[in-house]
């Protein structure tokens, strides 16, 4: 691409798919960004379908460098799709859609050797080769990060952008800003699969492929390994921490390839240490929370001792903390104020993130099973888990995490901050303190918002 002058805006043309790398581009403070213009408004689904078709064509143009035999043998098995394909044509259709999910109409064709980053994408050929290396070896950290960065770039800029001053279109007033296209793109892909259902072996194949592609995209976007876990529904005993860690590690890194098993073993060791810290009242992690001014350092001493127990207490008959405690542990990972404390406690922040979310997933799975078995007052410890159930539980956890991330910027959060800082002078502020002082969290953890005034120390 030719570099543009600062503050230059080139609006995307709505249908120029013959020139796949020209949809709109602009630079802002040296950062390359991409835009779709307002002519997409009202035609989002049609435009997204045209875009998908253009990406499939781009994939087909790169057929010479696609190892179809490898992808068909591995990916179709990993997603239990072998029964959906009747011949080589239908197998290639599925693989081309998987690759189309990963590429971008703005990618350069062929191979350039450029690595992906937050503000830069690979070429189509390099993206295909990253997927090939990940699939061949089972796990390759660099390939996983490249593929995740490609999708982060794609999804971050997946919006119609109206330039400043654009306020009238087709007789209606349009607020300047962006309109996200993610849902339109997913619907366009699902429509495309259903329209080609004659290629597949049975009536349920289209929905099965849609389901698999949804999970495939989510895994790649998070730099996980591709594949379903468990491949078939399986019973798990949740009474011990080791099983809970294994479920989450296998969800992130499913498969039995040598490199994948080695990476999963490393992750499980880090997660085991993180969960031990989360469930030990005198652990370095808990002590950091109770001494840091950005967490519970200014809580009154009696409240600190209650919090120490409630953060680490096993929830009913599950060997993990309660759901609210898990969310607070997640907030510790994402806040820069706690990085040094985690290093001193020997905790890998990524492992803490995985462990907290893994525990949240288990809570969702157990509560869903409890709803089926009846209100016993206890969460079931032995439950059958399918890949669909595990995926849905994880998406519920992500929804709660995203809600927290949005809430800390809300007017309600601002009211909590003003109340506490007016009552307790110089009380620092953090996402952790914001969420800790929500009524639901205070009740679940059994504490009161009583803080020591720094002036009285």
Q: Which of 252, 251, 192, 193 is nearest to 224 (CA)?
A: 252
Banded pLDDT at 344 (limits 50, 70, 90): confident
Which one has a higher pLDDT value, 436 or 346?
436
pLDDT for the residue numbered 151: 87
Asked if 190 and 71 count as a contact pair (C-beta separation under 8 A), the reply is no
Q: How many CB atoms lie within 10 A of CB 391?
A: 19
Which one has a higher pLDDT value, 438 or 455?
438
pLDDT for the residue numbered 80: 95
The mean-pLDDT minimum among 23-27, 249-253, 295-299, 321-325 falls in 23-27
Rounded CA separation 126/363 (Å): 40
pTM to 2 decimals?
0.85
Banded pLDDT at 268 (limits 50, 70, 90): very high
pLDDT for the residue numbered 2: 28
Banded pLDDT at 27 (limits 50, 70, 90): very low
**255-271: average pLDDT:** 96
Tens of pLDDT, residues 93-134: 999 999 999 998 888 999 988 888 877 889 999 999 999 999
Angle, in degrees to the nearest 10, between helices 88-102 and 68-78: 80
Is 249 exposed, middle or buried (CB count within 10 Å of its CB: 0-12, 13-18, 19+)? buried
> What is the DSSP-derived secondary structure letter of residue 344?
H
Asked if 121 and 149 count as a contact pair (C-beta separation under 8 A), the reply is yes
Asked if 209 and 193 count as a contact pair (C-beta separation under 8 A), the reply is yes
The mean-pLDDT minimum among 33-42, 309-318, 352-361, 411-420 falls in 33-42
Q: CB neighbours of 409 closer than 8 A, spacing ≥ 6?
A: none
Rounded CA separation 93/199 (Å): 8
Which one has a higher pLDDT value, 56 or 377?
56
Kindly give the residue spans of alpha helices, DSSP state H, lying in 238-386.
Answer: 241-252, 258-278, 284-291, 301-312, 323-334, 339-344, 349-373
pLDDT for the residue numbered 153: 72
Which residues, in sequence order, are bridge partners of residue 385? 234
Banded pLDDT at 406 (limits 50, 70, 90): confident
Which one has a higher pLDDT value, 81 or 174?
81
The mean-pLDDT minimum among 78-92, 152-166, 263-277 falls in 152-166
């Amino acid at each position: 691409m030719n570099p543009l002058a600062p503050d230059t805006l080139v609006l995307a043309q709505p249908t120029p798919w013959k020139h796949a790398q020209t949809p709109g581009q602009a630079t802002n403070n040296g950062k390359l960004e991409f835009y779709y213009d307002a002519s997409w408004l009202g035609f989002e689904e049609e435009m997204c379908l045209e875009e998908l078709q253009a990406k499939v064509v781009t994939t087909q143009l790169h057929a010479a460098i696609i190892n179809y035999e490898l992808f068909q043998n591995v990916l179709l098995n990993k997603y239990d799709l072998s029964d959906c394909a009747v011949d080589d044509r239908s197998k290639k259709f599925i693989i081309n859609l998987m690759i189309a999910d990963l590429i971008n109409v703005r990618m350069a064709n062929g191979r350039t050797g450029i690595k992906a980053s937050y503000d830069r994408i690979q070429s189509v050929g390099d993206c295909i080769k990253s997927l090939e290396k990940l699939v061949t070896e089972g796990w390759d950290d660099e390939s996983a990060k490249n593929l995740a960065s490609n999708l982060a770039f794609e999804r971050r800029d997946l919006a119609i952008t109206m330039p400043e001053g654009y306020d009238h279109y087709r007789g209606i007033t349009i607020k300047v800003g962006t309109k996200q296209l993610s849902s339109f793109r997913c619907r366009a892909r699902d429509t495309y699969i259903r329209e080609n259902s004659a290629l597949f072996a049975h009536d349920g194949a289209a929905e099965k492929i849609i389901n698999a592609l949804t999970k495939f995209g989510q895994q790649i976007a998070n730099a996980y390994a591709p594949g379903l876990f468990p491949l078939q529904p399986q019973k798990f005993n949740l009474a011990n921490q080791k099983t809970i860690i294994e479920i989450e590690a296998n969800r992130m890194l499913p498969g039995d390839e040598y490199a994948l098993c080695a990476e999963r073993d490393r992750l499980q060791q880090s997660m085991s240490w993180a969960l031990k810290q989360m469930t030990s009242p005198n652990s370095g992690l808990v002590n950091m929370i109770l001494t840091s001014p950005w967490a519970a350092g200014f809580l009154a001493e009696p409240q600190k001792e209650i919090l120490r127990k409630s953060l680490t207490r096993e929830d009913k008959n599950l060997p993990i903390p309660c759901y609210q405690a898990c969310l607070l542990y997640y907030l510790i990972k994402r806040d820069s104020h706690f990085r040094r404390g985690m290093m001193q406690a020997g905790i890998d922040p990524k492992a803490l993130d995985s462990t907290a979310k893994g525990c949240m997933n288990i809570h969702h799975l157990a509560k869903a099973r409890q709803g089926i078995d009846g209100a016993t007052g206890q969460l079931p410890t032995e439950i059958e888990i399918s890949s669909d159930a595990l995926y849905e539980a994880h998406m519920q956890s992500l929804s709660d995490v995203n809600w927290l991330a949005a809430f800390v910027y809300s007017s309600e959060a601002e009211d909590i901050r003003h109340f506490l800082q007016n009552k307790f002078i110089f009380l620092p502020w953090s996402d952790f303190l914001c969420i800790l002082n929500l009524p639901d969290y205070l009740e679940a953890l059994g504490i009161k918002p009583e803080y020591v005034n720094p002036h009285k120390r």
